[in-house]
Structure 1
């Protein structure tokens, strides 16, 4: 006997493993793509909600494909009339007497034989997941049993794979009740046939195909595109004793070929010849049971003439069946998965391309915006430096102008100081307490008056200068700010600038010492001050002198003293004597002077002069009232204050210019701070844009990797098609 080499069914197992592993990895890839899309920023418009939902659907579909692949197997459905040997054929293929068989109507429901990794066989029903002993199949599925199931029910028989080579290759065999015992065949097809890869029509060789069998497969062909159908003419051992067996064989071939080619149109004549077999399932089962020691040798059932040929025919059927089943199962089970997988991968690659395109567009836009922002930042920074330099110079010029104006105005006010002092009115008494209060009030009046006069002279002019400078710098700074921030410049404008003049006359005139004692205007001291001047008169005083009066140098003995005397003149002598009298101390000099003048001019003239002189003295003495004292006080105060104020002209003008400098510098500093804030915002914006560009680079790189991965998986699916489905896309 012949034995089969490597089974072609291994192609399905290998293909299932390959596509299962591939789909599992593709699912991980889709999940990774899904995570990538979820992490993308929605506000940039790089990814849409539709894309996320679509990818989520792809993930669900790939997961569903993986679950279907885990359950996929090669399914073979056996159909035929009652007692044609369907169960016996399955038992012979499984090398075990598993399904109930015998004469008459035996199989009452659908029996599905699947492989299990368990060492013990068991049985499952649709109503319960409880495992039953495999021996109970003769009760549940046998038509003669009172506890049998309904004809549309399904019983799963899990048979250990190690006991049956066929079940190791993911093959599922389905036995059915006779199609001639029920009219509900449409439901059979819908429940048990739509996922079958191969149909085996088991016919009784003692008769030809009946209408019932043909109608059933016409229905199958109408619901499935080109189903794979094998026709087994079973019980061909009955022809061993018939001398016309060859003619019967030819008759069956013609009828079967016509049914497959012409009536169903599922194959051509050559293919049909390879799908029609004449076998004896009972002989094949007995032979295999005998090979395994399940039957004693020389059993009569396998000793009929032609047994070897029939057994070889059965093995040829198994080989053709395995090749067709494997090829068909790979195509029917995996082709749609591959097509769907390629479609999903193509869609994902397209979506990644869209994301890549949007990210690239967003990056280009951001780079342009950043370049514009950096250029604007450089421009604003450069302009701010220029404006700062210009405004510093302008502030310096303004400060110098203000200092000059203040100095001129203050000098003018100092020259008019006597008018301001004359405007002061208060009770004046030659009393220390009253004079002290008078000086304090006069100082306050002077402070107020000078400040008021200075403001009247300068406030409008200086305020105009300051406001003009502020307006200029504001307008220049405003141009550096965006429109939405320009209102801050207007909001920061201050009120009209007001100058403060701090003269502090109390401190300036603190050392003022008034002299309001009576002084005769024609007194000798007054006359000397008037004629000799203050400096010369200060040397010669009535009550003392700072320099010694020149005296004649003592002559040496024998030298005549008249050589050193001045020329003889009475007036010259009188002048000298007057000088000596004035320089002398006490009343003695005055008496001596009067005596000399009287001798020269005459006593009458002297008396007249003395009367006039005394009258003048008496008049001045009587008119020297508090008002006169006040006038002398104010005159002395004006002289003292003028002297002191002239000392602080430069200081005051510098102080005022410093106020202007502070005002303008502060204003410009506040305006420049707005520009600095704007520049900081631009720098922050540039930094954020740089970070966004880096993020977009990562998105571009990730989308490129995912797109390349999609191409990689697409190529793997294409390789699978060429390897297992014989599809060449070229």
Structure 2
């Protein structure tokens, strides 16, 4: 008891960073100004090593830029050297990210209802975490500082900010909406409200170690990065096997963990003052034995300094009264001031331990890695410095050779371009002439092509339209196939020869490493060139309208119009077909629409004037279609030539009419239709002869020009690549001149960074 009082009185006298005063029957007021707090060591160390690694990051990036500038074809640094230095960029970035997130973490464990949450609340000077009798905390609650002025919380894996009051529902075991035991809730508390959080300390509350068998999972998720473990025990009982088993598992995964044991609810000893010393000694001996002999994490003397007897509830009430928080005012048990100072003593030693542990465990390894990175990069720079001089002579010689090659390629390309343009123009003119001549010949043979079409002909309108469309396709296919048969082989052969000549000429001026790519531009005889003939008879002959009505070849109107030099049979087109003159004596192919021109200077005894009068009268009679006109014409003929001549003429005329009428069958109509179609299509096709030949010649010109352009592009790519190489060589020569100075500067910076890390070690890692 005397030792306990002495340790407490030393705190009351002002030993340590806390100035304390005791008021009679009043709250204990403690000035928590932590200007000299041990936690500030970690804060300063974190800031210092972060600043050093900012410089290391800049140094590595400068080294990478330098290595890239002297790598590749320059040959000063190999790709492996560049990759090795580049790898340090991501490593330094990863270390910087870890350093930004590094904080001092303390994890509180113990059995259910031992007061873990109350201890954390007392350290934070406010009732933040849910606490009470029974099983209260159901999941892991991590309290950390926030730069905002408002408190909030987040569940693990979510970015949603929740009201801090929600922690009572999410983490309380008695609430229906509680989380699972292995879940983690981040509670963000304003740093300005708590000095402990301002100093980068994170406090983790846990469920009771006696509520779940998943201890290994807890340790892996939440304990491996903890700097200090606080075992909150119940002073009314003793250390249980469950608590010991948990820390046995921790000691197997973490080497020499820092463990503090708080015997909470020590205020219960006030009711039994006669056994106070014996119970305290009993608890202390068991705790020392557990830390030093069972866990072997510290010596017995060190273990005595890590065992405290406190009342977290009294400490929380005292601190909330100091901050004038609305709390109940229970009567505190005797000796509450001493227990409060024991709690303050725990905080002081806890701060010293966690600061020393965090600086050593979190920064020592980073300091070593920083020194290694600086040394490795400096070694790579030394190698670059040594090879720079040897590469300079090689670069100068390469520059001379590239100049000569570029000049030769430009001269040869100018000559070949002029010659190939002349050759393409000659081929285009030749193809245009061939296509025009061949297409004209095929148009003259169009009637034979149309006669080859032997589909069933029916004069009905619907069938006739279908027949016409099929005939269009037949003509287009036939003309196209004939043109291809007569032209494609010759033109394709000429195209192959021209392309081969182009390729060979261009291959000769290309650099050797580009000839393989140029060879793939044209593969002779695998994809032969083929001229496309697009006649499009459907649209071309879309305005064709046949005239299949019966017309007597020797009708009066036809004869009169023939003598007048006019055509009697007009089809719907502006350009009617011209019919052949067939004598009427040919009986094997009577065509009703054939007109026969009879050239006679005089017919019978009538003069030219008489025939003119008769023709005008007959035309007027036919036009008016009056019976009287016919009678007058008949009377005039009887009077002029006699009834015998009229009778014979009428008989012959009637026989001819009857013959033509009887022979006006579907076959005759088909012949007439084909003749009209040939006449119309021939005229339309002649209109596109020049267009078709121009299109074919344009196709040839486009194919050859495209081929030549592709070859020229390969040459351009080669010359562009050579220009790039030449620029790189010039840059390399300049770089080689500056390489030694740049390498020396970076080497000196590496020495400076190594010295800074040594100073950091002396200041923070080697101090007591």
TM-score in terms of structure 2 length: 0.51
Among 303, 316, 330, the alignment partner of 1:285 is 316
SS in structure 2 opposite 1:172? strand
Alignment correspondent of 2:277: 246
Among 115, 118, 138, the alignment partner of 2:168 is 138
Among 94, 101, 112, the alignment partner of 1:82 is 112
Alpha-carbon shift at residue 694 of structure 1 (Å) = 5.7
Alignment correspondent of 2:76: 46
Aligned residues: 408
Matches within 5 A, 1:284-363: 284-295=315-326, 299-301=329-331, 303-360=332-389, 362=391
Alpha-carbon shift at residue 359 of structure 1 (Å) = 2.4
Alignment correspondent of 2:764: 724
Question: Is 1:199 aligned to 2:239, yes or no?
Answer: no
Alignment correspondent of 1:174: 204
Alignment correspondent of 2:195: 165
Alignment correspondent of 1:540: none
Q: Quote the Cα distance in structure 2 between the aligned partners of 1:199 and 1:689.
A: 62
Among 124, 127, 137, the alignment partner of 1:97 is 127
Matches within 5 A, 1:27-66: 27-66=57-96
Contact 2:69 2:735 in 1 (8 A): no
Alpha-carbon shift at residue 300 of structure 1 (Å) = 2.6
Q: Quote the Cα distance in structure 2 between the aligned partners of 1:250 and 1:350.
A: 60
Alignment correspondent of 2:297: 266
SS in structure 2 opposite 1:98? coil
Contact 1:91 1:97 in 2 (8 A): yes
Matches within 5 A, 1:403-418: none
Contact 1:205 1:233 in 2 (8 A): yes
SS in structure 2 opposite 1:300? coil
Shift in alpha-carbon separation, 1:33–1:277, aligned structure 2, 3 A: same
Alpha-carbon shift at residue 3 of structure 1 (Å) = 3.5
Contact 1:92 1:281 in 2 (8 A): yes
Alpha-carbon shift at residue 358 of structure 1 (Å) = 2.2
Alignment deviations for residues 379-401 of structure 1 (CA, whole Å, 9 cap, x no partner): xxxxxxxxxxxxxxxxxxxxxxx
Contact 1:111 1:141 in 2 (8 A): yes
Matches within 5 A, 1:377-396: none
Contact 1:366 1:689 in 2 (8 A): no
Alignment correspondent of 1:524: none
Alpha-carbon shift at residue 119 of structure 1 (Å) = 0.9
Contact 1:110 1:177 in 2 (8 A): yes
Shift in alpha-carbon separation, 1:8–1:259, aligned structure 2, 3 A: same
Question: Is 1:3 aligned to 2:31, yes or no?
Answer: yes
Q: Quote the Cα distance in structure 2 between the aligned partners of 1:106 and 1:349.
A: 57
Q: Quote the Cα distance in structure 2 between the aligned partners of 1:163 and 1:690.
A: 63
Alpha-carbon shift at residue 189 of structure 1 (Å) = 0.6
Alignment deviations for residues 202-244 of structure 1 (CA, whole Å, 9 cap, x no partner): 0001122111111111111111111111111111111112211
Contact 1:86 1:202 in 2 (8 A): yes
Please tell me the root mean square deviation across aligned C-alpha atoms, in Å.
2.3
Contact 2:108 2:116 in 1 (8 A): yes
Contact 1:112 1:156 in 2 (8 A): yes
Matches within 5 A, 1:549-698: 695-698=735-738
Alpha-carbon shift at residue 692 of structure 1 (Å) = 6.7
Q: Quote the Cα distance in structure 1 between the aligned partners of 2:309 and 2:201.
A: 23
Among 710, 715, 721, the alignment partner of 2:755 is 715
Alpha-carbon shift at residue 718 of structure 1 (Å) = 1.3
Among 93, 98, 105, the alignment partner of 1:68 is 98
Question: Is 1:150 aligned to 2:180, yes or no?
Answer: yes
Q: Quote the Cα distance in structure 1 between the aligned partners of 2:394 and 2:299.
A: 66
Q: Quote the Cα distance in structure 1 between the aligned partners of 2:750 and 2:343.
A: 47
Alignment deviations for residues 4-31 of structure 1 (CA, whole Å, 9 cap, x no partner): 4531111111111111122122111111
Alpha-carbon shift at residue 265 of structure 1 (Å) = 1.2
Alpha-carbon shift at residue 327 of structure 1 (Å) = 1.0
Alpha-carbon shift at residue 362 of structure 1 (Å) = 4.7
SS in structure 1 opposite 2:31? coil
Contact 2:320 2:327 in 1 (8 A): no
Q: Quote the Cα distance in structure 1 between the aligned partners of 2:166 and 2:104.
A: 26
Contact 1:286 1:295 in 2 (8 A): no
Query: Which has the higher Rg, Structure 1 or Structure 2?
Result: 1
SS in structure 2 opposite 1:321? helix
Alignment deviations for residues 461-489 of structure 1 (CA, whole Å, 9 cap, x no partner): xxxxxxxxxxxxxxxxxxxxxxxxxxxxx
Q: For structure 2, which runs of at least 5 residues remain unmatched after alignment?
A: 1-19, 21-29, 401-727
Q: Quote the Cα distance in structure 2 between the aligned partners of 1:37 and 1:695.
A: 11
Q: Quote the Cα distance in structure 2 between the aligned partners of 1:246 and 1:281.
A: 20
Contact 1:233 1:276 in 2 (8 A): yes
Alignment deviations for residues 659-717 of structure 1 (CA, whole Å, 9 cap, x no partner): xxxxxxxxxxxxxxxxxxxxxxxxxxxxx999977642311111111111111111111
Shift in alpha-carbon separation, 1:128–1:690, aligned structure 2, 3 A: closer
Q: Quote the Cα distance in structure 2 between the aligned partners of 1:691 and 1:120.
A: 57
Q: Quote the Cα distance in structure 2 between the aligned partners of 1:151 and 1:721.
A: 41
Alignment correspondent of 2:486: none
Q: Quote the Cα distance in structure 2 between the aligned partners of 1:725 and 1:127.
A: 35
Alignment correspondent of 2:725: none
Shift in alpha-carbon separation, 1:316–1:361, aligned structure 2, 3 A: farther
Alignment deviations for residues 442-499 of structure 1 (CA, whole Å, 9 cap, x no partner): xxxxxxxxxxxxxxxxxxxxxxxxxxxxxxxxxxxxxxxxxxxxxxxxxxxxxxxxxx
Q: Quote the Cα distance in structure 2 between the aligned partners of 1:171 and 1:709.
A: 34
Q: Quote the Cα distance in structure 2 between the aligned partners of 1:361 and 1:199.
A: 60
Contact 1:366 1:693 in 2 (8 A): no
Q: Quote the Cα distance in structure 2 between the aligned partners of 1:110 and 1:294.
A: 26
SS in structure 2 opposite 1:113? strand
Q: For structure 1, which runs of at least 5 residues remain unmatched after alignment?
A: 374-687
